[in-house]
Amino acid sequence: MLAAREVVVRFGERTVLDRVSLEVATGEVVALLGPSGVGKSTLLRVLAGLLVADGGSVWLDDRDITDLPSHRRNIGLVFQDEQLFPHLTVAQNVGFGLRMRRSDRAAVAARVDELLVLVGLPEFGQRSVVTLSGGEAKRVALARSLAPRPAVLLLDEPLTGLDRDLHDRLVGELADVLRATGTTALLVTHDHDEAAAIATRTITL
């Protein structure tokens, strides 16, 4: 279970997050809704350890992880602009998290294949990420985040900016993948329909 308790973030004069609390229970897929600029992405970054808050705390399964660096939290994050590593292939991107945990090669290869199949890109391992289309890139980003089996997966507007058909297709696929892997997830979006389709619960900030 992931919890934010009384998180405060101020940028200069502006208070972006004012004692915000939320909880995501294990197995839940929670959608965080709200208009642009309200602080949703900021909250995600605090949860991921990428941003230090001015007040409050972050808890994971009864452990206070507020001061824990990102790489030890086992909390994944799918970025809005994917942030794939351009100098690595698709397979190398997807297997990155496992290699960081020093899994052996065979295990990594197997898991990479498994995930590529899961996101519908079975033959894409050796491709260079610079050549991927928008939809393919998003799928690879998702696969990459899921590969190391994070305790919680955060998604920062993962499907924003796609055309309607692709968007709708990916919404369904994302919902399926999250359910199939039993991932606990917190999804930030401004699209109510998207939230309804993917999430088990919706919060508005």
Buried b (16+ CB within 10 A) or exposed e, 35-46: eeebbbbbbbbb
Q: Does 162 bind other proteins (CB under 8 A)?
A: no
Through-space distance between the first and last CA atoms of the chain, rounded to whole angstroms? 19
Q: Is there binding between residue 88 and other proteins (CB under 8 A)? A: yes
Work out how close the CB of 96 gets to other proteins at its nearest, in angstroms, rounded to a whole number. 5
86 binds other proteins per the rule CB under 8 A? yes
- Site for other proteins contains 107 (CB under 8 A): no
181 binds other proteins (CB under 8 A): no
Q: Closest Cα to residue 174, out of 187, 191, 164?
A: 187
- Which residue, 18 or 81, is less far from other proteins as judged by CB? 81
Shortest CB 15 distance to other proteins, Å = 13
Q: Is 135 in the site for other proteins (CB under 8 A)?
A: no
CA distance 192 to 189: 8
Long-range contacts of 49-52 (CB under 8 A, 24+ apart): 49/73, 49/75, 50/77, 51/9
Under rule CB under 8 A, residue 79 binds other proteins: yes
With respect to other proteins, which residue has the nearer C-beta, 100 or 196?
A: 100
| Interaction between residue 146 and other proteins (CB under 8 A) | no
